[in-house]
A and B are shown apart, each in its own frame.
Chain A
Amino acid sequence: MYGFEALTFNIHGGYLEAIVRGHRSGLLTAADYNNLCQCETLDDVKMHLSATEYGPYLQNEPSPLHTTTIVEKCTLKLVDEYKHMLCQATEPLSTFLEYITYGYMIDNVVLIVTGTLHERDVQELLEKCHPLGMFDSIATLAVAQNMRELYRLVLVDTPLAPYFSECITSEDLDDMNIEIMRNTLYKAYLEDFYNFCQKLGGATAEIMSDLLAFEADRRAVNITINSIGTELTRDDRRKLYSNFGLLYPYGHEELALCEDIDQVRGAMEKYPPYQSIFAKISYGESQMLDKAFYEEEVKRLCLAFEQQFHYAVFFAYMRLREQEIRNLMWISECVAQNQKSRIHDSVVFIF
């Protein structure tokens, strides 16, 4: 019954909720970001980060640092925290936590398939994969030649198997098909996740549907903008939109017909939450759209922490940590390339 979670949630989920809230208070604050933005070299960045929770992970790196090392170690911290939470979780929290990683799995699969297409070495590709999305037989993806083989050989054992029903074709894999495959998989994943959360009910269902709806809408807009000018037909485009969210179904109809950014803006401005996003960008500009979307997402994720006794805090924490790692990567790159003026272009403050 919604409203009475306080009676029973803490039996199984209390410890982990406390842990995740503790982690969340260790996220970098605006003061930290200001310090980091004033750094001159990567060594200064390392020095500042050693005073935060990233300290133990970065302190043993020898002096000529690379941005990839910093990002790798920070991701390692996230992976450690996730694994700790996963091994302490019981059902249904453990299934929920695993759902969070399917998105990374899809990205890894696409990365390896694309890399094999461009004749890269498998071991090199494996190092670039996100650690949260690894599964056992991932390296065998390099053997597959078309999608059916991909499915039959490797993916049928993984949790991604049910998402494949819509996209098994015998066509050979090329760049366009891989993108379509990625988006179809992601659409099936989001819908599955959404249904799972609805089944969980209560505060989890409410908050997660809001967050997932935003995610679905954001992907719809990105798909539209990226496919303007390519040979993707309108019907194909419409098939890639998820069937839930604020934009479903009328917004999708309009988006499917759009041919340039201003039309997209026209379609989106009918929805008040997205109108505020598009109001921040002036006409004809699309670079800042990403940042605007991130800011809106961060705002919603922070709101998820305002309520207790639900699982959406875990999802929100993982996403916030991801955003922080993105910020750190941007800052490190700007510092390493001496372009401090552009640092504030893409850093989204979390608090």
Chain B
Amino acid sequence: MGDYRGLNVRRDRGGCCPPTDLMRSEAMQLVRIIVPVESAHLTLSYLGDLGLFQFKDVCRIFNAFLVQFPVVLWFPSVRCRIMNDPISDCLSDSVGLNADKSPFQRTYANQIKRCGEMARKLRLFKEQMAKAGISHSEMVMTQTRIDFDEMEIKLGELEAELIEVNSNNEKLQRSYNELLEYMLVLKKAGEFFYSAQSSATAQQREIEARQIGDGSLDSPLLLEQEMLTDPSKQVKLGFVSGLVPKEKAMAFERILFRATRGNMYLRQAAVDDPVIDPISGEKIAKNVFVVFYSGERAKTKILKICEAFGANRYPFTDDIGKQMQMISEVSGKITELKTTIDLGMLHRDNILKNISHQFEQWNNLVRTEKAIYHTLNMLSLDVTKKCLVAEGWSPVFATSQIQDALQRATYDSNSQVGSIFQVLHTKESPPTYFQTNKFTSAFQEIVDAYGIAKYQEANPGVYTIITFPFLFAVMFGDWGHGMCLLLATLLLIFREKKLSSQVSSHLF
């Protein structure tokens, strides 16, 4: 192993420095791979799994509008890295790799659109699951390869079903909320009339008592005028009852006053708990109101104003007997609807649970496919030979692994022609690649944040392994603080396996 690498080193670098793992970049080589079209997809998938190949754009000429910088899409191990880059799929779209084609005329643009559609559906599912409070299990490691087209169809079906169930539920929920509100109106408005009635009878009794008390001559004349309620002269007051949101209650009252020039009487009573509004679906504090008015024009104005303020109106009768009847009817309807709604929610939760089992896997698959198609777009199609040409950088030690992957892809895709792996010689300077493990990768990332070392430049990452914890410790002046940190990190290290399966990968 060491000899092999040593040989390489002497060939490439003139043999001055001994080989070191982390101190310098691995030796890189420019490679051209020619794949037949039918095995292209699989090839890229296996190469992506390997994570040791960096694809390069094939055409030299850049369309001036489409490109701001020469881009190379690093196509590392798909399973973990793809999670972290939300935007690169969009950006790579705008890179003018095939100079004669604009991004949406590229060969695989349709496939990318399909992936985008599926990603949108998956996002919708995630939202719905979050709303229903169902969490999806992370990192399901099933090995069954799901067919892409099948998945697309399935996602479409599920989406249609979910939308239908949701709209049905919404309708039912709306009627349910309306009935609840109606119930409140019946109760509270009933109280108005009842209290008004009782105060009217109380007043009546007072007047009678006074009448019996005075026996004087002139008083009967006045009293007659008071007591005679001539039905023909009495003005018939109409009324409108309903619910209005509490915040708008003041403005509502004011505008009613202005519109009818003060010729109306409004009674409001607050409802104790917030009520779910049928239209918006949120909990709002509301007031029950009853408006008394006279005349047709006033009625139309009041109705329009109620509509404008989103105040829901409900019919109400004076008759006490009928009120009781309405209350019992409405209660019956409410219980019925509740059971129906519960069934509906159960059905929806079942659908969502089914989705949640496979959600993570589908998500991964869609993102993988999208990345593969983006990369496929970067290869140039050699039309006469029906094959795709890819150029890229790879570390020298990975040659055998890459060739292995290519062979497997050829075999799995049942293609007649194998892929060709060809090393090119070039004067360009290769990108840098450090081989890191779990421990050193953290320090390497910190150093990379300041700037990635050039090819074969000395890597400061090695020294950071020592200096970084030291400087960090110097920052924390006291021992107690340090002990707490130590305990917390020990906890994290020992629970690593357990925690990594529970929590989503982006947190750690």
Contacts and interface: CB of A to CB of B under 8 A. Distances in A.
Interface string A143-185: 1000000001110010000000000000000000000000000
Given A142-B304, A154-B255, A136 B90 contact: no
Contacts, number: 63
A143 B297 CA distance: 11
A286 interface: no
B104 A62 contact: no
B391 interface: no
B10 interface: no
- Majority secondary structure, B binding face: helix
Interface stretch (A5-13, A38-46, A79-87, A195-203): A38-46
B259 A122 contact: no
Contacts of B120: 59-60, 62
A153 B65 contact: no
B374 to A, nearest CB: 13
Contacts of A100: none
Contacts of B259: 143, 153
B304 A143 contact: yes
A51 B89 CA distance: 9
A142 B116 contact: no
Interface in B47-104: 65-66, 87, 90-91, 93-94, 102-104
Contact of A39 (B66, B104, B117): B104
Interface residues of B, number: 28
Interface stretch (B223-231, B281-289, B305-313, B360-368): B305-313
Given A47-B113, A60-B124, A140 B305 contact: yes
Nearest to B310: A139
B307 A122 contact: yes
A33 to B, nearest CB: 10
A143 B298 CA distance: 11
A139 B90 contact: no
A270 B307 CA distance: 54
B102 A143 contact: no
Nearest to B307: A122
Contacts of B123: 59-60
19 contacts: A35-B94, A44-B104, A47-B116, A50-B90, A51-B90, A51-B91, A51-B93, A55-B90, A59-B120, A60-B120, A62-B120, A63-B117, A136-B248, A137-B309, A139-B309, A140-B305, A140-B308, A142-B304, A153-B258
Q: What are the nearest 5 A-B pairs in CB distance?
A: A139-B308, A51-B90, A140-B308, A143-B304, A31-B65
Given A31-B66, A51-B90, A140-B305, 12 more contacts: A34-B65, A39-B104, A47-B103, A47-B104, A55-B90, A59-B120, A62-B120, A63-B117, A140-B304, A142-B308, A143-B305, A152-B258
Interface of A: 31, 34-35, 38-40, 43-44, 47, 50-51, 55, 59-60, 62-63, 122, 136-137, 139-140, 142-143, 152-154, 157
